Amino acid sequence: MKRSKKDRQQLLKDKIETDPFITDEELAAFFAVSIQTIRLDRMELSIPELRERMKHAARERYDEVKALSPEEVIGEMIDLHLDEEAISILDIKEEHVFARNDIARGHFLFAQANSLAVAIINDELALTSKASVHFSRQVKKGERVIARAVVEKAGKAKTTVSVTSKVNQEVVFRGEFTMYRSRL
């Protein structure tokens, strides 16, 4: 059954409030309408496009990275609370995949997680001393990887950070990183 425009727009607003990182393509598939219809609905509701929503979220709620420059973080940092948690997004593009099968190279997923584990450390010096990783499934070109890092244990010179990366709420990568830091 097709929804009325008013109902669809209210559901669209609720859906974006629930998941601000949802793409227009995902919304179009969810509502079984065209991407153009979603864009028009967003414009009428004064809801910015995804990139603007991400930038706004990043400006509102994140600390400054200390252990590396923000440009060295693989993916786009959207949330950072030093020594607590951090989130980054990596859109898998042509340069991230093997040419013959469009599967993302594992070192990009690892780099996203590892750079997030470094970025979360509230110290000028943070180095990875140990990593244990598990890849759950292949990631394809065009998919968006959302990585979330959480500080599990902070000691005097070492901090344990767990990172979970997901595509559409499905876990694709897990890692536990032991980070050396110069102080706590």
Task: Summarize pLDDT for 80-108 with one digit per residue, the tens.
Answer: 889 999 999 999 999 999 999 999 999 99
Token reading at 105: 């190279």
- Would you say 93 and 60 are in contact if contact means Cβ atoms under 8 Å apart? no
- Nearest C-alpha neighbor of 114 from the set 155, 158, 75: 75
Write the CA distances from 14 to 9, 18, 24, 156, integer angstroms. Answer: 9, 6, 14, 44
Q: Cα 145 vs. chain centroid, distance in angstroms?
A: 6
Segment 8-51, tens digit of pLDDT: 999 999 988 888 778 888 899 999 999 999 999 999 988 888 87
Residue 60 confidence (pLDDT):
53
Least confident of 19-33, 83-97, 120-134, 168-182: 19-33
The amino acid at 23: T
Residue 131 has pLDDT above 90, yes or no: yes
Could you identify the residue written with the tokens 């990783």? 133
Domains in the chain (CATH in brackets) are: 5-55 (1.10.10.10), 61-181 (3.10.129.10)
Highest mean pLDDT among 136-140, 156-160, 180-184: 136-140
Its sign, for the CA torsion 49, 31, 89, 155, is: positive
- Would you say 94 and 103 are in contact if contact means Cβ atoms under 8 Å apart? no
pLDDT confidence bin for 170, thresholds 50/70/90: very high
Q: Higher pLDDT residue, 72 or 159?
A: 159
Distance between CA 22 and CA 116 in Å, rounded?
A: 21
- Nearest C-alpha neighbor of 173 from the set 80, 107, 109: 109
User: Is the overall model pTM greater than 0.75, yes or no?
Assistant: no
> How many residues does this entry show for the chain?
184
